[in-house]
Chain A
Amino acid sequence: MRMQLNTTVNDVAVSVEIEQDARLLDVLRDQLGLLGTKEGCGVGECGACTVIINGKTANSCITLAASMEDCDIKTIEYLSKDGELHPMQESFIDNSALQCGFCTPGFVLSGISLLERNPNPTTEEIKEGLSGNICRCTGYEQIIKAVEDVRDKKYNKDGAINE
């Protein structure tokens, strides 16, 4: 069965016809063309499909799209929509915090989200905040450093993406 979904994606009001049992991940990728959100496992373990829903991170692979009515959804594409990189993205590049890049969008969003929740986290708190994202390449060390650099305000830009 199909139905209409009205919601907000990356600050844009969206009305899209979806399958009732569609996953948010598939609607974002197949219907809205937001390909930065990746599927790694489909069961909410790897975090490659991380998006921010109403200010909190979620795995879009285990999110029912139909539930997203009137929600505020942000994907990786939101960050550079004005052409400029978010400090977290710059820090990932500067710290070599990525290799194959497949998990990177999810990590960037989790990193931003954890700093919005707690602007001054300890390293242990950063690790906990990133623990829903699995990376097989980097061993996490340089990712943690990238988040620490943003925490320590090495980038002169406001990193807030939620009100």
Chain B
Amino acid sequence: MLNYYRPKTIEECLEYICDNRVYIAGGTDLLVEMKNGHDLSNNTVIDLTHIPELAGVKREYGEFEIMACTTHDDIVMNTDINKCLKVLSSACRSVGSPQIRNKGTLGGSIGTASPASDPMPALMLADGRVVIINKKGAIREEKLENFIVKPGITTLKKDEMILSIKVKSLEDYKQSFFKIGRRKALAIARLNFAIAVLKNDDETIKDIRIVVGAALPVTKRFYDIEKQLIGKKITEKVIEQVSKEISEQVLAIAGPRKSSEYKIPVIRNVINRMLKEMEV
């Protein structure tokens, strides 16, 4: 490390931002990368763990603002989120292990842009927006799906850092998160899914959201398919159709690769099952 800074306020933190900056929050990814040879000898490391204002959850107008250094465990334990955005609680609870959830942060899991991130499908489901601050203090917001470019790459500029993530409360929605891993804990998602549905009184769909993670380089929300469903009643036939289309879309983007043999049919099976189990 060229420099190491441990600011106590966001203001102080902005002063240290420079072209070769690397942020550390929970360290659950960075320390692993360092062990695997990621060389930080020419980097300035900015430690975000001692900035109280960077952690915590605010709720206003049907929206949550989750500060970047809020840990997965903080989110799991947050009763408001548990009530209104259960899908995010479930997703965060499926991350790694208690030890990882105690340290890993939401900002970190977005910043590393892992295609298998567990919170990501839930965040995208809730119209997640990344709030970004630059060295001069200017703030911008970007939709999560635009923010993540490809694995490990985001649109975050050298003079910027993630301040928070804003997500919509989906209080009235039926919600579901599902993860497939090779074991029940400490699992990297083989696939993960988030679905939310809101219905009208006449049982037609008022709003539906479907996200699939770990299948493509970037977690994907299926806006076009969602749109087609609005106003419709969900029948078994529609469910079959939706799950088929989603799996076909994934295959079209991913192309035929070894993992597709497994993932494509399973995406179809799981979407199908989730929609049925949610009794939409």
B31 touches A58 (CB 8 A): no
Chain B 97-108 near chain A by CB (<8 Å), digits 1 or 0: 111101100000
Q: Which of B6, B103, B185 contacts A58 (CB 8 A)?
A: B103
For residue B138, CB closer than 8 A to chain A, the reply is no
- What is the bound-complex CA distance between A110 and B31, given in angstroms? 21
A69 within 8 A of B: yes
Query: Interface with A: B11-19, B42-50, B199-207, B248-256, which one?
Result: B42-50
Task: Kindly specify which of B32-40, B155-163, B236-244, B262-270 makes contact with the partner chain.
Answer: B32-40
Query: Is B184 part of the binding interface, using a Cβ–Cβ cutoff of 8 Å?
Result: yes
For A131, give its contact among B6, B102, B184 (CB under 8 Å): B184
Cα A57 to Cα B45 in complex, Å, equals 24
Query: B56 in the interface, Cβ–Cβ < 8 Å?
Result: no
B118 interface contact, C-beta 8 A = no
How far is B15's CA from A139's CA once the two chains are assembled, in angstroms?
51
Answer whether residue B4 sits at the interface, using C-beta atoms and an 8 A cutoff.
Answer: yes
Docked-complex contact B98 and A69, CB < 8 angstroms: no
Interface range, A side: 20 to 34
- Known A47-B97, A57-B99: A63·B27 in contact at CB below 8 Å: yes
Cβ of B186 under 8 Å from chain A: yes
Name the residue in A45, A61, A110, A114 with the highest tally of chain B Cβ atoms < 10 Å from its Cβ. A45
Closest-CB distance, B125 to chain A (whole angstroms): 24
Which chain A residues numbered 96 to 139 have a C-beta less than 8 Å away from chain B? Answer: 110, 113-114, 128-129, 131-134
Distance in Å from the Cβ of B39 to the closest Cβ of chain A? 10
Taking a contact as CB atoms under 8 Å apart, the answer to whether A69 and B6 are in contact is yes
The residues of B that contact A20 with a CB separation of less than 8 Å are 1, 4, 45
For B34, the closest partner residue in chain A by CB is: A21
Kindly state the separation between the CA atoms of A59 and B96 in the bound complex, as whole angstroms.
12
Residues of B within 8 A of A47 (CB): 97, 99
Given contacts A20-B45, A56-B73, contact A67 B27 (CB under 8 A): yes
Tell me the dominant secondary structure on chain A's binding face.
mixed
Among the listed B2, B35, B73, which residue makes an inter-chain contact with A43, where contact means beta carbons less than 8 Å apart?
A: B35
Q: Give the residue name and chain of the A residue nearest to B93 (CB).
A: A128
Task: Tell yes or no: A23 within 8 A of B by CB.
Answer: yes
- On whether the beta carbons of B31 and A62 are closer than 8 Å, the reply is yes
> Is there contact, CB below 8 Å, between B96 and A42?
no
- Which of the residues B2, B3, B98 comes within 8 Å of A129, measured between beta carbons? B98
- Across the interface, do A44 and B49 meet the contact criterion of CB distance under 8 Å? no
Give A43's nearest chain B residue, CB to CB. Answer: B32
Interfacial residues, chain A to chain B (CB-CB below 8 A): 1, 3, 20-21, 23, 42-45, 47, 50, 53, 56-59, 61-64, 66-67, 69-70, 110, 113-114, 128-129, 131-134
Sample 11 A-B pairs with CB under 8 A, ordered by A number: A20-B1, A21-B40, A44-B28, A44-B31, A47-B99, A59-B28, A63-B31, A66-B4, A113-B98, A129-B98, A131-B185
Interface residues of B (CB under 8 A from A): 1-4, 6, 24, 27-28, 30-32, 34-35, 40, 45, 47, 49-50, 73, 96-100, 102-103, 184-186
Listed from nearest, the 10 A-B pairs whose CB atoms lie closest are A132-B97, A131-B185, A62-B31, A132-B99, A56-B102, A20-B4, A20-B1, A67-B49, A59-B99, A43-B32
